[in-house]
A = this chain, B = another copy of it.
């Protein structure tokens, strides 16, 4: 029946706008695998890791949502639903809250802020080739570090 109620599960993917080729390919694979598992992906909607993830989602026939810094910005061409905002760098606080789980890919200060925000909100954060951090007592971040897109998505699915 066409209008049967069903919210999609959502994963937030955060990542640098200037990834290496290798990281771009990993991000694309993360997007592809999430979409294959019927997960909607929320990201920042611009270039780099964000474009790679949307490309992967698109090639699996899935849905991505891009939360843009400004409604005057052009999204990457692969994001299914671009959502304009006026929040600039503060849009990270929307993306961090968006999903049931967050996957952080690569470096960049924005990615670090999203890891902090997501943990602050009590979210599970999975890290792929991303920041390590240590608090003043030397405690490391409670990020689940993985080495491959398959592991990232596998762990994400286990928490949804």
Contacts of A96 in B (CB 8 A): 113
Interface residues of A in 96-131 (CB under 8 A from B): 96-99, 106-117, 119-121, 129-131
A46 within 8 A of B: no
User: What is the chain B residue whose CB lies nearest that of A32?
Assistant: B3
Within 8 A of B (CB), among A69-99: 70-71, 75, 77-90, 92-94, 96-99
- Residues of A in contact with B, size category: 35 or more
Contacts known (A94-B87, A136-B129); A81 close to B63, Cβ less than 8 A: yes
Does the CB pair A42–B3 fall under 8 Å? no
**What are some 21 contacts across the A-B interface (CB < 8 A)?**
A3-B55, A5-B78, A7-B77, A7-B79, A10-B84, A65-B81, A65-B83, A85-B94, A86-B90, A86-B121, A90-B117, A96-B113, A107-B139, A111-B116, A112-B115, A113-B119, A113-B120, A115-B116, A129-B136, A130-B135, A131-B136
